[in-house]
Amino acid sequence: MHEPLTVLRDTIARHCRDASARTAIPGLVFYRADAPTTPVDCVYEPRFCMIVQGSKQVMLCDRIFDYDASNYLIATVDLPVTGQVVKATPEQPYLSLCLSIDPAQIASLLLDMHAARTDHGQLCCMCLGVSPLTPQILDPAARLVGLLDTPQDIPVLAPMIVRELLYRLLHGEQGNVLRQIASAESNLSQINSAISWIRRHFAEQFDIATVARIAGMSPSSFHRHFRAATMMSPLQYRTRLRLQEARKRLMTEGADAAEVGFAVGYDSPSQFSREYRRMFGKPPVRDVNEIRVQPAADVRMMAESL
């Protein structure tokens, strides 16, 4: 019998020949890189991620998370992050998987587990974390990916294996924050509602009081819980969404920088250029021109916001 990690490496390598590959299993995506990449800005939606070969850095504000095949990563709310593959070669490419996390599945599982009631009043936890990979988590992950070689089994077996994997994660280091997203009454669930609203309205002008009402919190409580979960203020979060979207549009649409700035919510081209440079280190036009001469895989990853 092959070790689960070996099975994962072989299967992902066969099914993912490009930078990414969506699979026949709902919510399961593979990623590949044959060389280290430049930093890629994207939004991590709730997900479980495992690297099976190579290593990566993920940055949330000024916090850096390093992980490789000995760890797994969980994000429990939508987070604008910067990711960079740091170890990969053509002979040993970076290979990873990401599985979307559905709060409704967590809630159903908690009911069957008769889990203790969540303390809804506690301060939100940081919603991105890296934990040591255990055999209890590795084994169902390998069996889930292995179903791609017997696709007729996916409709029946995949939901059961995903449920088993979530069960193991709930008993892991990040189980508490997973429990939080499953309860509509928890502070984290309320923050998640506000985040969803901000993602839909990031190009609009709004104040903290407006979003706090959506979360069902006072402005001061909302600000405190939001920062604890995301490591940034709500307005900083909106700024990152705006600038990530602007960069993507500049690369894929070839639009004028000033037009893109207005489209993502800036009233002034100078303010847009100033904040863009602060985040990406270069003014918009220069930044995009330099991106376009990078390796094709890097550009594709940026354009697709992986």
Q: What is the pLDDT of residues 16-65, one digit of tens each?
A: 999 999 999 999 999 999 999 988 899 999 999 999 999 999 999 889 99
Q: Is residue 212 within 8 Å of residue 222, measured between CB atoms?
A: yes
What is the distance between the alpha carbons of residues 254 and 119, in angstroms, rounded to a whole number? 49
Report pTM.
0.88
Task: Detail the DSSP E strand segments found in the chain.
Answer: 20-22, 28-33, 40-44, 47-53, 55-60, 63-68, 71-75, 79-87, 94-100, 128-132
Q: 224 lies in a domain?
A: no
Q: Spell out the residues 6+ positions from residue 78 whose beta carbon is closer than 8 angstroms to its own.
A: 43, 44, 45, 46, 192, 195, 196, 199
Q: 125 lies in a domain?
A: yes
Of residues 133 and 119, more confidence is placed in 133
Report in angstroms the alpha-carbon separations of 282 from 73, 84, 189, 236: 30, 18, 36, 19
278 and 145 co-located in one domain: no
Domain total in the chain: 2
Q: Is residue 278 within 8 Å of residue 242, measured between CB atoms?
A: no
Q: State whether residue 55 is helix, strand or coil.
A: strand
Q: 262 lies in a domain?
A: yes
Q: How far is CA 179 from the centre of its chain?
A: 18
Residue 124 has pLDDT above 70, yes or no: no
Domain span at 155:
4-182
What is the distance between the alpha carbons of residues 9 and 14, in angstroms, rounded to a whole number? 9
Q: 200 lies in a domain?
A: no
Q: What is the pLDDT of residues 230-286, one digit of tens each?
A: 999 999 999 999 999 999 899 887 778 999 999 999 999 999 999 999 999 999 989
56 and 165 co-located in one domain: yes
Which of the listed residues 182, 204, 225 is the one where a domain comes to its end?
182
Looking at the chain, the whole-number percentage of residues with pLDDT higher than 90 is 76
Q: 117 lies in a domain?
A: yes
Q: Is residue 246 within 8 Å of residue 214, measured between CB atoms?
A: no
What is the distance between the alpha carbons of residues 59 and 81, in angstroms, rounded to a whole number? 6
Provide the token pair at 104.
């409704």
The angle subtended at Cα 226 by Cα 96 and Cα 163, nearest 5°, is: 40
